[in-house]
Chain A
Amino acid sequence: MFKNLFPSKILTLTNKTISGLVILLIVVVTIGLFYSLLLSPPDHIQGDSVRIMYVHVPSSFIALGCFGFIGMSSICNLVFKIRLMPLLAKSLASIGCVFSLISIVTGSFWGKPTWGVWWVWDARLTSMGILFLFYIAYILTWKFIDNFEKANKMSSIIGIVGLFNLPVIKYSVDWWNTLHQPSSITLTSAPTIHYTMLVPLIIMLFGMIIYSLIIFLMKYKTEIMKYKINKKKITNN
């Protein structure tokens, strides 16, 4: 599977694969939205504002997951100097950045009717905000440092430092008193979310992962092309 991420394979990636994924995306998201907005029941306390969760939770999941990948590939990049890694991480950054913003915005739309405020400086919300800033910093280093090697090193350091933020986000609700509720879905115990709400949540998560995959493949292909063109330019000069 990993072999498919090699430049030669990616460059032959046809529009057929992408359109196949797009069709799958449309089907999954249509089912997911239909289930989560119409079929699933309102919550016994929150009422209909629980439906924000079906976008909020998958977005946060993808935001954290993307940065996990970026951090890991930054480590591999600094240690083993694999050329593929920075291009891979670079393509993931904008996806994670957008989804962390979506997570923060939808969370704040949920917070107003539930808590009574748009935003509080509790550990979960603050650490999520920091993740967003890390994404911005990561993207900006690539944008503003022209030298590839320099940008690569700087962004990898940002990726590794940001990696420490991920367990803080994940466990902030368990380590400290926060206004944000603890996770409903854990590995160790049964989910505290009723299955009529869990099923649409998982479908939406699946849909958003497919969406991220499509954007990633397209971006990754562009990044490889850009890299090759730049290399040619340098050797020609």
Chain B
Amino acid sequence: MLSKKVKSRIFFLFFTMVLAAVGMFIVFKSLENNVVYFFSPTEIYSKTNISFGKKIRVGGLVKVNSINKNEASISFVITDLKKEIIVSYTGILPNLFSEGKGVVAEGKLKDKKYFVADKILAKHDENYMPPEVKKALEKSNN
């Protein structure tokens, strides 16, 4: 059926590809801290080798009723529904920043509960719907 040459080529290619896949897996696994774009509050709490002076990103949901706006600065709570981190920030917020929605804050940790951000990004989720449907959903939930 298949000639010997073709068979050996299949064999060679298959093993090279398996090796490459394993190699890539190991690389990604060991670089996991660099590949992830942000840490959730739970991950921050469980991290032992945390560096407080270094820039990191924390992401999660903006806790409902946690936004505190002063003249220039704003503080709010990022939650992943298990742990929470208080974030303070001075600057312009993205338009889509709002309570109960996803957010990623870039900045430095003061301690494990307090984060000073110098950049706020709004994170959009995978749900797409027209406003009327959203309203109808909210109505049926209440």
Of the residues A43, A75, A121, A181, contact of B129 by C-beta under 8 Å: A43
Nearest CB of chain A from residue B104's CB, rounded to whole Å:
6
Of the residues A120, A160, A176, contact of B121 by C-beta under 8 Å: A120
**A179-B13 contact given A43-B130, A115-B122, CB 8 Å threshold:** no
Nearest CB of chain A from residue B26's CB, rounded to whole Å:
13
> How would you classify the secondary structure of chain B's contact residues: helix, strand, loop or mixed?
mixed
B37-76 contacts to A, CB under 8 A, are 37-40, 59
Tell me whether A194 and B130 are in contact (CB under 8 A).
yes
**A181-B95 contact given A42-B130, A44-B133, CB 8 Å threshold:** no
Tell me whether B130 and A160 are in contact (CB under 8 A).
no
Tell me whether B123 and A115 are in contact (CB under 8 A).
yes
Nearest CB of chain B from residue A53's CB, rounded to whole Å:
8
**A176-B36 contact given A41-B131, A183-B126, A184-B128, CB 8 Å threshold:** yes
Nearest CB of chain A from residue B126's CB, rounded to whole Å:
4
Nearest CB of chain A from residue B107's CB, rounded to whole Å:
14
A114 CB contacts on chain B under 8 angstroms: 94, 96, 122, 124
Tell me whether A44 and B37 are in contact (CB under 8 A).
no
B40 CB contacts on chain A under 8 angstroms: 177
Total interface residues on B, CB under 8 Å, equals: 38
**Which B positions have Cβ atoms within 8 angstroms of A?**
6, 9-10, 13, 17, 20-21, 24, 28, 32, 35-40, 59, 93-96, 101, 104, 120-134
Tell me whether A78 and B9 are in contact (CB under 8 A).
yes
**Which A positions have Cβ atoms within 8 angstroms of B?**
41-46, 50, 53, 75, 78-80, 113-117, 120-123, 160-161, 164, 168, 176-179, 181-184, 192-194, 196-197
**A44-B36 contact given A113-B95, A116-B120, A183-B126, CB 8 Å threshold:** no
Tell me whether A192 and B94 are in contact (CB under 8 A).
no
Tell me whether B121 and A117 are in contact (CB under 8 A).
yes
Sample 13 A-B pairs with CB under 8 A, ordered by A number: A43-B130, A78-B9, A79-B6, A114-B94, A114-B96, A114-B122, A115-B123, A160-B13, A164-B21, A177-B37, A179-B38, A181-B124, A194-B133
* Given A42-B130, A177-B59, A193-B126, 14 new contacts (CB under 8 A): A79-B10, A116-B95, A116-B120, A122-B37, A160-B17, A161-B20, A164-B17, A177-B40, A179-B59, A184-B128, A192-B128, A193-B128, A194-B128, A194-B130
A168 CB contacts on chain B under 8 angstroms: 24, 28
